[in-house]
Amino acid sequence: RIVYVNGDYLPEAEAKVSVFDRGFLMADGVYEVTSVLDGKLVDFEGHAKRLERSLGELDIVSPVTTDELLSIHRELVKRNDLTEGGVYLQITRGAPADRDFAFPDPETTPSTIVLFTQVKNLADAPAARTGISVISIEDRRWARRDIKTVQLLYPSMGKMMAKAAGADDAWMVEDGLVTEGTSNNAYIVKGGKIITRQLSNDILHGITRAAVLRLAKEAQMEVEERGFSVEEAREADEAFVTSATTFVQSVVKIDEATIGEGTPGRIALRLREIYIDESRKKAI
Ligand code: PLP
């Protein structure tokens, strides 16, 4: 693989960052994952905007402009012959001369930027056909989940808890209501209505979420943005998750309960189809 690091395109084995990098020492950094379909970027603009917001909330200076970012994404897709998968991007507060809790001066410590591609079967992912199972776990992340930081230890632990329980993923619960999945936004469908938690600092403002809710409304589907409990999910007709790399993926089991018929539901499948169609058309 050819990866990008601080201005250079290099074979992955030659790409290096400092041991003092604050991303490595303190999880002081943010990231984005933009999916690639037919060799083109899906909703690059949405990801670039959220990146800017994440950086702003943490006072990290971007080392590149949005135009440069687009060129780097495209160049990596080209150099790696990527037709389907994703581009991972990470920006950290850089590598000061020594480890210190206080932020370094951005004038003397430039941010670190790294991008690499990942090959993945997205549109035809087997899990989309069968649906996935989730377990519910307590949400023990910090209180600014709207910022897409590289602080992913708890979601990783959640994935491992799911694996240990024989499930595919975990839905996190706070004060009796589902926040989101370990790396996706969570939805249920009841009586034709799509229900998903409202935006706040409690969840990541998914780029796929925004597109899917817009498409649902355009298709005259009813949408309600509010929290829902695990009990409500157990009794729902359908459930699903959204993210840049899974698009819309049905959830057919939560803890021990089968949701609906235990197979992907009609509304989730329809949304997946509409989302993929539109993404292929609008990708750049
Ligand atoms: N929620 C969390 C916690 C995530 O990590 C992600 C994606 O990584 C999402 C939601 C979905 O966001 P997006 O649709 O922008 O990929």
Same-domain check for residues 130 and 253: yes
Residue 96 Cα to ligand 1 midpoint, Å, equals: 30
Q: How far apart are CA 238 and CA 249, in angstroms?
A: 11
Which H or E run includes 175? none
Last residue of a domain, one of 119, 134, 159: 119
Q: Report which protein residue has its CA nearest ligand 1's atom 3.
A: 183
Same-domain check for residues 157 and 111: no
Last residue of a domain, one of 119, 138, 167: 119
Same-domain check for residues 90 and 143: no
pTM over 0.80: yes
Same-domain check for residues 132 and 79: no
Same-domain check for residues 130 and 52: no
Ligand 1 site-directed mutation target among 148, 204, 215, 251, most atoms within 8 Å of CB: 204
Residue 264's pLDDT is 98
Say whether 73 sits in a helix, a strand or coil: helix
Same-domain check for residues 95 and 148: no
Q: Report which protein residue has its CA nearest ligand 1's atom 8.
A: 183
Give the ipTM.
0.99
Would you say 264 and 241 are in contact if contact means Cβ atoms under 8 Å apart? no
Residue 153's pLDDT is 98
Range of the domain at 150: 126-282
Same-domain check for residues 133 and 112: no
CATH of the domain at 87: 3.30.470.10
Q: How far apart are CA 218 and CA 81, in angstroms?
A: 35
Same-domain check for residues 135 and 100: no
Same-domain check for residues 98 and 135: no
Residue 188's pLDDT is 98
The ligand 1 atom at the shortest distance from the C-alpha of residue 204 is: 1
How many domains, in total, are found in the chain? 2
Residue 148's pLDDT is 98
Same-domain check for residues 249 and 130: yes
Per-residue pLDDT of the chain (284 residues; tens, 9 = 90+): 999 999 999 999 999 999 999 999 999 999 999 999 999 999 999 999 999 999 999 999 999 999 999 999 999 999 999 999 999 999 999 999 999 999 999 999 999 999 999 999 999 999 999 999 999 999 999 999 999 999 999 999 999 999 999 999 999 999 999 999 999 999 999 999 999 999 999 999 999 999 999 999 999 999 999 999 999 999 999 999 999 999 999 999 999 999 999 999 999 999 999 999 999 999 99
What b/e string do you get for 88-112 counting C-beta neighbours within 10 Å, with b at 16 or more? Answer: bbbbbbbbbeeeeeeebeeeebebb
Residue 132's pLDDT is 98
CATH of the domain at 228: 3.20.10.10
Residue 186 Cα to ligand 1 midpoint, Å, equals: 10
Last residue of a domain, one of 119, 134, 160: 119
Same-domain check for residues 139 and 250: yes
Residue 175's pLDDT is 98
Residues within 6 Å of ligand 1 by CB: 180, 183-185, 204, 206-209, 242-244
Residue 100 Cα to ligand 1 midpoint, Å, equals: 30
Interacting residues of 266 by C-beta distance below 8 A, sequence separation 6+:
238
- Residue 253 a catalytic site member: no
Catalytic residue among 120, 148, 163, 217: 148
The ligand 1 atom at the shortest distance from the C-alpha of residue 148 is: 5
Residue 184's pLDDT is 98
Best CA proximity match to 132, nearest among 256, 254, 257: 254
Same-domain check for residues 135 and 208: yes
